[in-house]
Amino acid sequence: MAETQRELTLEESFAKLDEILEKLESREIALEESFQIYQQGMELLKQCNEKIDRVEKKMKLINEEGGLSEFS
């Protein structure tokens, strides 16, 4: 039975991206491994961007008239 993975928070994703950057900056990493790690980082970055987009869409402020206006 496969275990369901929970979605990482933005902070956790950023921490993982930092780890990935450190690995990629290491001169001791094999080329094949660096491609795999780079791909993981790009997927994490995509997920972060999607989360930020969802949050931005939810960020609405009620103005004085009771209407909704975009958060800026």
Residue 3 is assigned to a structural domain of this protein: no
Q: What is the pTM of this model?
A: 0.68
Domain that holds residue 20: 11-70
Residue 6 is assigned to a structural domain of this protein: no
Are the C-beta atoms of residues 13 and 47 closer than 8 Å to each other? yes
Residue 46 is assigned to a structural domain of this protein: yes
pLDDT digits (tens, 9 = 90+) for 9-56: 999 999 999 999 999 998 888 999 999 999 999 999 999 999 998 887
Identify the band that residue 57 occupies on the pLDDT scale cut at 50, 70 and 90: confident
Residue 5 is assigned to a structural domain of this protein: no
Name residues whose C-beta falls within 8 Å of residue 38's C-beta, 6 or more positions apart in sequence: 20, 24
Residue 1 is assigned to a structural domain of this protein: no
Please count the structural domains in the chain: 1
